[in-house]
């Protein structure tokens, strides 16, 4: 019984021959979603190649764009450190970050 040949998929900018497994870099200028015949430099077998190109559309909220005040909250960022992030839009506070003790003290003063 012969080995079944299947398509290969990579998202690393490399193409892999579906016959011998030889891999090579595909230049961005060569990207094309239309199938085209190619030949492996290693084993010489032909196969159809194409790129499956996808785009991610991202939208994130922003308080400043909407004339709203940020709602800063302290969040742990590892190694016992904290930073201020907006609870509404997730923006990272651009200023000097107070220590957790300083922030909690200022919160107590604002009540």
Q: pLDDT tens digit string along 50-67?
A: 888 887 888 889 999 999
Q: What is the rounded CA–CA span in Å between residue 83 and residue 10?
A: 37
Would you kindly state where each structural domain of the chain is located, as residue ranges?
1-53, 64-109
* 6-10, 36-40, 81-85, 103-107: least confident range: 6-10
Query: 111 pLDDT exceeds 80?
Result: no
pLDDT tens per residue across span 70-110: 999 998 887 788 888 999 998 888 876 656 676 677 666 65
Structure tokens at 86: 């907006």
pTM: 0.44
Q: What is the rounded CA–CA span in Å between residue 82 and residue 74?
A: 6
Task: Please give the DSSP secondary-structure letter assigned to residue 30.
Answer: G
CB 21 within 8 A of CB 48: no
Structure tokens at 40: 């492996």
């Amino acid at each position: 019984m012969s080995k079944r040949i299947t398509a290969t998929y990579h998202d690393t900018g490399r193409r892999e021959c579906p016959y011998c497994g030889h891999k090579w870099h595909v230049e961005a200028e060569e990207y094309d979603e239309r199938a085209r015949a190619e030949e492996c430099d290693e084993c010489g077998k032909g196969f159809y190649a194409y790129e499956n190109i996808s785009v991610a559309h991202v939208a994130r909220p922003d308080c400043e764009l909407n004339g709203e005040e940020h709602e800063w909250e302290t969040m742990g960022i590892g190694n016992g450190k904290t930073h201020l992030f907006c609870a509404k839009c997730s923006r990272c506070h651009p200023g000097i970050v107070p220590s957790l003790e300083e922030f909690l003290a200022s919160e107590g003063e604002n009540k």
